[in-house]
Structure 1
Amino acid sequence: MAFSKENTIIGFVGTGVMGKSMAGHLLKAGFQVHVFNRTKARAEELIQMGAVWFDTISELAAKSNVIISMVGYPKDVEEVYFGANGVINNAKSGSYLVDMTTSSPILAEKIYEEALAKGLYALDAPVSGGDVGAKEARLVIMVGGDENVFKSMGPIFELVGTNVVLQGRAGAGQHTKMCNQIAIASNMLGVCEAMAYATKAGLNPKNVLKSIESGAAGSWSLSNLAPRFLENNFAPGFYVKHFIKDMTIALDSAKKMGLLTPGLELAKTLYDKLAEQGEKNSGTQVLYKLYL
């Protein structure tokens, strides 16, 4: 199916930090968008922009032919897709289901299989880029599923991301996101330690950042998150609690594959400590507080 503004009604479940911006881009592009969120207040801005509010996921699914979800945890994904009031039991045959939550690869495979049995087409399509990437419509989108379904969704993906890659069969998008989170976890340790070292050495860490971010040490976290924590800005572009969730999924998956991930294990231990200190709703850059 070729999706156009005339024949497409997008149902968007989850209008938080990321979902709000993503749904907004779809509205601005001229698509009809239905929205559901546990807290309606978080969808008010989208409603003002023209989105149609639905009180239940089942109603939204029945009135849409593309359903996108961007929620918090695997348990939330299960709630959205399964059960009497879930997407799979209420979407019209032929609808496309796209879970963009960072979730379990095994759960992505289950959604794909149960959707297919109902005549529905499912993709797992987690994203990277944080709140800034969502706002600027330049997310990285990692997709698992059938190629023809991926191609059909292309015009919609392009409205929220600039790097969209089909990684393989169902679950491959989630596995790719785990690779992303593993790389970020150890990198955040290095970013925080480097800036802490600069401070202890009596240097101006902002000047140090100017030198090292464009060299071999350069990374997204160094350029985007170090400036935030150096200004004591720990507001969430991505929550600590969600990062812990991602690292837990990655550790479980790695264990099943017999893979050692010592860097990931250390990072999770430190983020668990931050959560215990009351920082679970802070941004991931709050790791720097452990070095102060």
Structure 2
Amino acid sequence: MNIGFIGLGIMGKPMATNLLKAGYPLYVYNRSSQAVDELKALGATSKSSPREVAEASDMIITMLPDSPQVEQVIFGDNGVIAGISSGKIVVDMSSINPIAVKQMAAKLDAVGVSMLDAPVSGGQLGAIEGKLAIMVGGPQIMFDQVKPVLEKMGTTVTRVGDIGAGNTVKLINQIMVAINIAGVSEALAFGKKAGIDPAIAYEAIRGGLAGSRVLETKIENISKESFKPGFRVQLHEKDLNNAIAVEKEIGANLSFTHHILDMFKKLDQLGLGTEDHSALYRWYSRL
């Protein structure tokens, strides 16, 4: 299967690299050339537009910041839709609004093209190691067809429902992660004010009920108060904004999410939007 990959950012580049390591012919496009050049050196073929990627590929993967970018790449000038043909598959692995995914899938279906939404969790390290959790929405027959490819990028590949369900489950994930990071940050900042080093508190509680994957992966950032991004504040802010949009559509209650989104927005306004989302600790420790 010839694979196209569009969007070679902090997540997309290592994901594409793992597909090359697995032996797949890979056609790539990205706005900036550095990542393209790095992948070309590993055996990828560069293309000058999403249209050219679609012409050369059986399966086109997109990994982009948000819904507008995905829509532009697929339906804009020289977009995927201009080069795609019936029977090909688009797999969007971005984390975007599930309502937008359903609308895009309907447009592609009209020209005989199937679409799956397959957002990921696991951060940059998970992308590099090929250990992402991938949650997929779309027809079972299409899922079965692309699952072997997705398994080269993730250790858990789960079909969670029809189109849009992948991004809905990703929003569930992002809500849980945000609340967990906020809880860890609030508690450890409280402890530090009381004279307890966060690293010592971590060692004492990590094996108990308060232990979590978030605590394990973010304690170094918090204890050193160094927030080099693995997943940026701005991206988590974007995900929670998408969750709020869906909340209004379905009549849910995301009161905790609103509160944490407000904190992310204020960090962004302070110029900290490019820091890791564990920079929520800064909010509780009061810059």
1: CA distance, partners of 2:203 / 2:27: 44
Residue in structure 2 matched with residue 127 of structure 1 by the alignment: 120
Instruction: Tell me, yes or no, if the aligned pair for 1:65 and 1:92 is still in contact at 8 Å.
Output: no
Aligned residue for 1:150, secondary structure, equals helix
1:234, 1:286 within 8 Å by CA — same for their partners in 2?
Answer: yes
Moved more, 173-182 or 77-86: 77-86
Of the three residues 143, 150, 153, the one matched with 1:150 is 143
Q: From 101, 108, 113, give the equivalent of 2:94.
A: 101
In the alignment, what sits opposite 2:212? 219
Question: Structure 1 regions of 5+ residues with no counterpart?
Answer: 1-7
Q: What TM-score, normalized to structure 2?
A: 0.96
What is the deviation of 1:155?
0.6
For 1:281, the equivalent position in structure 2 comes to 274
What is the deviation of 1:10?
0.8
1:1-292 mapped onto 2 (5 Å cutoff): 8-292=1-285
8 Å CA contact 2:99–2:246 kept in 1: the answer is: no
Q: Tell me, in whole angstroms, the C-alpha distance in 1 between the residues paired with 2:19 and 2:227.
A: 29
Corresponding pairs, count: 285
- Decide whether the 8 Å contact of 1:138 with 1:160 is kept in 2: yes
Point out the more displaced range, 135-144 or 36-45: 36-45
Q: Deviations over 1:55-114 (max 9, x none)?
A: 111111111111001010111011111134221232132111100000111111122222
- RMSD across aligned C-alpha pairs, in angstroms? 1.2
Please report how far the alpha carbon of residue 134 of structure 1 lies from its aligned counterpart in structure 2 after TM superposition: 0.7
Q: Which shifted more, 113-122 or 80-89?
A: 80-89
Does structure 2 retain, via aligned residues, the 8 Å contact 1:192–1:226? no
Q: Give the superposition deviation at 1:44.
A: 2.3
Please tell me whether the aligned partners of residues 88 and 114 of structure 1 are also in contact (alpha carbons under 8 angstroms): no
1:43 is aligned with what amino acid?
V
1:138 and 1:211 map into 2 onto residues whose CA distance is 28
| Partner Cα separation in structure 1 for residue 158 and residue 69 of structure 2 | 25
Residues 219-228 or 173-182, more deviating: 219-228
Q: Give, in whole Å, the separation in 1 of the partners of 2:210 and 2:165.
A: 29
How does the TM-score come out when normalised to structure 1?
0.94
Q: Summarize deviations over 1:129-166 as a string: whole Å, max 9, x none.
A: 11111111111111100000001111111111111111
Distance apart, 1:213 and its partner CA: 2.4
Q: Which structure dedicates a bigger proportion of its chain to helix?
A: 2
Unaligned runs of 5+ in 2: none
CA displacement, residues 6-60 of structure 1 (integer Å, 9 cap, x when unaligned): xx11110011110011000000011111111111113322121111111111111
Give the match's secondary structure for 1:282.
coil
Rounded to whole Å, the distance in 1 between the matches of 2:247 and 2:212 is 24
Which residue pairs with 1:5 in the alignment?
A: none
Question: In the aligned structure 2, how far is the partner of 1:232 from the partner of 1:54?
Answer: 41
Query: In 1, distance between residues paired with 2:30 and 2:222?
Result: 30
**C-alpha contact (below 8 Å) 2:197/2:223 kept by paired residues:** no
Cα distance in 1, alignment partners of residues 25 and 225 from structure 2: 40
1:236 partner amino acid = P
- Equivalent-residue separation in structure 2 for 1:35 and 1:211 (angstroms): 47
- Describe the SS at the equivalent of 1:167: strand
Q: Which residue identity lines up with residue 95 of structure 2 in the other structure?
A: T
Whole-Å separation in 2 of the counterparts to 1:291 and 1:285: 11
